[in-house]
Each structure stands twice: as C-alpha cells, then as structure tokens.
Amino acid sequence: MKKSLILIGIIIVSFIFIFALKPKKLQKESIIQTKITEKVEEQKQPLVIPEKFLIEVPFTSQSPFATWDEDENSACEEASLIMAWHWLKGDVIGKIPPAQAEQEIRGLIAFENEKYGNSFDTSAKDTAQTFIDYYKNKNIKVKYDFTTNEIIEEISKGNIVIVPANGIALNNPNFKQPGPETHMLIVTGYDQNKKEFTTNDPGTRRGQDYIYTYDVLFNAIQDYPTGKHEPNNETRKAMLVVSK
C-alpha cells in the first residue's frame, strides 16, 4: 500500500512538472514564430520610389580632345567604365580633366587589346568582365530583359546603370549623323513627372546630364556582339548595374 502511494505520488509530480514546462516551450516557440513573421513582413515592404533622383557621376567624352580617331570612335564602353570607376571611388569632380581622361581611355584600350585582342565593340557581358579584370572590382552585374521601372528602381537604390544602345535610335543631334549603331552610356537619374532619364553620354562633349525621354532611351537599349563592328542581330536588352 505504501509503495502504491509513493508510485502515485511520483506520477502526479511528473505530470505537474511536464505541464509546468510546456507553457515555457510554447512561449519560446511563439517568440521564434513572431520574429520569423516580422522578418518576412519586413522583406515584403515595398521599395519607395522618389519622384526624381539624380546621382552625380564624373563625366568625360570618349574623345576628350575631340580627335575622334579610330580608337576613340569606339571608346564609349571605356569612357562609361572610367566614369563609373571615378564615381565608385567617390570622386566629386564634375568633369574628369581631359588629359587624365585621355590617358585613362588609352590605358584601358591597351589593356583590352593585350588581354582580349579587341578594344572596339564589347557586349554588356564582356564590358562587365573588362571592369572586373581591369579595376579588380566586382561591384558590377549584368541584367537582361528588364523594364523601364527596373532601371528607375536601380537608380533609386543609389546604383548607376550602364546601357548598350543603338545610337542611331537615340536621335541625339550632337552625334555625327546618323549616330553610331553601337553605343554605351550611363543612366544617372530620372524624373517621373517629366518621364525623362538623365545620362552621362560619352558620345558627345555635351553629354553630361544629357536628357532622353523614357521611351527614346528604353527603345534604343540593345545589346550587341563583341568585335569590330560585327553585324548585330541581337534584340535582347541588357544593362550593367554598378553599386557601391
């Protein structure tokens, strides 16, 4: 009888102990679940897009002294990368001094010729690789098949966007007409009310903060093959996103 009472007592104490611990476990699980829910909700917060945004990027023409020789006629990619690099370093100069820009463009062309055997046209993918190889920096990525809004989103995040384009379709009156079939430029800002992009267009000495409408720039964006003015059957849109 005494043993039975002791056994019953042990069972009762065990149940009390188990039920005393269970609320703590449930409370801990509830806290974990709450934190997970808060994190998911935080990730779902929509990106706030300002009505207008402009990033100051140092500018250079692809032909700083307007010589427009064969190399400089094809140096829009190099000039775009050089502008992006100066911005990435935090340079606050409005324009890169012509002598410095000329030296940097020639240096990048020489690097490409030695490493790749080509410095004329380079596709979006190859241009990004040139940036990585030359500057030893991976803060650049290629995106394809995007919308106008995706360009705007990248800029609103504080990133600059480099785009390959059909220069003829840009219809820039400052180009030697009709304009280059293959071209590259930097998108530095936008204005939602005016539906305009602000760019640093190296194809003209008047290219700093040059304005294109959303439609004109987006419709002109077109990737092209690497090589010396190869026939371009590419219809895919590409952009290079450079971030700090």
Give the Cα-Cα-Cα angle 62, 68, 70 (nearest 5 degrees): 100
Asked if pLDDT for residue 36 goes beyond 70, the answer is no
Supply the angle between the helices 124-135 and 98-115 in degrees, to the nearest 10. Answer: 100
- List for the chain the helix, strand, coil content (%; round to 5): 45, 15, 40
| Separation of alpha carbons 201 and 216, rounded Å | 14
Rounded CA gap, 119 and 231, in Å?
16
pLDDT tens string 179-219: 999 999 999 999 999 999 999 999 999 999 999 999 999 99
Check whether 235 has a pLDDT greater than 80: yes
pLDDT at 137: 98
User: pLDDT > 90: what percent of the chain?
Assistant: 77
- Of 170, 171, 149, nearest in space to 161 by CA: 149
Cα–Cα distance between 170 and 165 in angstroms, integer?
8
Q: Measured between alpha carbons, how far is 163 from 183 in angstroms, rounded to an integer?
A: 8
Residue 227 pLDDT class (50, 70, 90 cuts) = very high
CATH homologous superfamily of 53-242 equals: Cysteine proteinases (3.90.70.10)
Residue pair 81/101 in contact by the 8 Å Cβ criterion: no
Q: Which residues pair with 189 in a beta bridge?
A: 54, 198
How far from the centroid of its chain's Cα atoms is residue 179's Cα?
25
pLDDT digits (tens, 9 = 90+) for 80-106: 999 999 999 999 899 999 999 999 999
